[in-house]
């Protein structure tokens, strides 16, 4: 019985773009990087990033007895984009909230693994716990960390979600890929807030995604003229990445945009909280909320 092959087949049947395996260990090579990033305040007001430091580095502290990290990628690149001149929403938020959609795929998948393997313990993570998912995806051979700090995969780029199953099954790990960014600095050059630094480091406190979603306060005056129309998240560093020329539209019904994609600037300006909730009831936009988005709208 080749359980690893069965898991990959199950992931394909569930619609995942790719699946890879990493051996559980402490990510010692990331420790100083994380300490430095936090000490320089690059996490801004995301104080939760300071919590569970050891758990971020060592999955066994999240689940004692864990032996493997099964990593998954799920395509979210849309088949259509917003009309010209509309306030911009990051593509990952076009459909339903990915946390729920992907967890609803991973739980049945994990139970199918159990039906093949027998009793085993696992935990599912979809950007919702102190797990360094991009780093584990690298360890699982699914891609490399680009200069914009996102996971890139040859030849499809970076428009995908990362999820993982931490389990106590010992599986054969995959081979780490090489870096394919070369001398390209397109993402660094295009970032309007200069948030992308050297060595794949991002000062999140300057990132448009942080400013429009995570920052609870009003966007500082020094950044308001640099948003380039974005009111929830930002795709600039992905739009200019040469690898994303090869992105293909996803086929996930839950990630197809609703009728709001046709709203123009005037319709957004006229939107009230009730209309917002109607359009985005199951959307990641609720993370920022109506008031935050309307305030940002007044800046772009």
Active-site amino acid positions: 127
Dihedral of CA atoms 74, 79, 85, 90 in degrees, nearest 10, equals: 0
The single residue listed with the structure tokens 């051996």 is 23
Estimate to the nearest angstrom the gap between the alpha carbon of 98 and the chain centroid. Answer: 9
* Torsion sign, CA atoms 22, 157, 17, 257: positive
CB atoms within 10 A of CB 66: 19
Strands 18-23 and 230-232: unpaired
Estimate to the nearest angstrom the gap between the alpha carbon of 165 and the chain centroid. Answer: 16
The single residue listed with the structure tokens 């539209």 is 249
At 122, list the tokens. Answer: 């696992």
DSSP string, 206-258: G-HHIIIII--SPPPHHHHTTSTTEEE---HHHHT-GGGGG------GGGS--
What is the maximum span of the chain, computed from C-alpha positions, in angstroms? Answer: 60
Q: Which of 33, 9, 4, 35 is nearest to 21 (CA)?
A: 4
Q: Which of 153, 87, 166 is nearest to 123 (CA)?
A: 166
Dihedral of CA atoms 125, 131, 137, 140 in degrees, nearest 10, equals: -90
């Amino acid at each position: 019985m080749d359980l690893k092959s069965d898991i990959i087949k199950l992931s394909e049947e569930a619609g995942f773009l790719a699946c890879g395996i990493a051996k559980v260990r402490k990510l010692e090579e990331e420790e100083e990087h994380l300490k430095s990033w936090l000490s320089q305040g690059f996490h801004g007001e995301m104080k939760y990033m300071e919590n569970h430091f050891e758990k971020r580095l060592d999955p066994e502290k999240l689940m004692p007895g864990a032996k493997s990290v099964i990593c998954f990628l799920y395509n979210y690149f849309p088949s259509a984009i917003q009309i010209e001149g509309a306030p911009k929403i990051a593509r990952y938020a076009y459909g339903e909230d990915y946390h729920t959609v992907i967890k609803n795929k991973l739980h049945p998948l994990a139970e199918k693994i159990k039906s093949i393997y027998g009793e085993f313990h696992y935990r599912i993570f979809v950007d919702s716990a102190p797990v360094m998912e991009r780093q584990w995806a690298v360890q699982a051979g699914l891609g490399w960390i680009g200069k914009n700090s996102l996971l890139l995969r040859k030849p499809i780029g970076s428009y995908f979600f990362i999820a993982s199953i931490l389990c106590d099954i010992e599986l054969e790990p995959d081979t780490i890929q090489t870096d394919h960014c070369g001398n390209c600095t397109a993402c660094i050059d295009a970032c309007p807030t200069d948030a992308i630094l050297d060595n794949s480091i991002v000062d999140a406190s300057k990132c448009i995604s942080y400013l429009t979603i995570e920052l609870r306060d009003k966007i500082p005056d020094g950044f308001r003229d640099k948003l380039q129309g974005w009111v929830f998240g930002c795709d600039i560093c992905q739009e200019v990445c040469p690898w994303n020329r090869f992105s293909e539209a996803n086929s996930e019904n839950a990630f197809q945009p609703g009728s709001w994609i046709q709203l123009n600037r005037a319709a957004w300006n006229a939107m009230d909280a009730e209309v917002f909730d109607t359009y985005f009831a199951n959307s990641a936009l609720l993370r920022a909320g109506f008031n935050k988005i309307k305030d940002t709208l007044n800046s772009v």
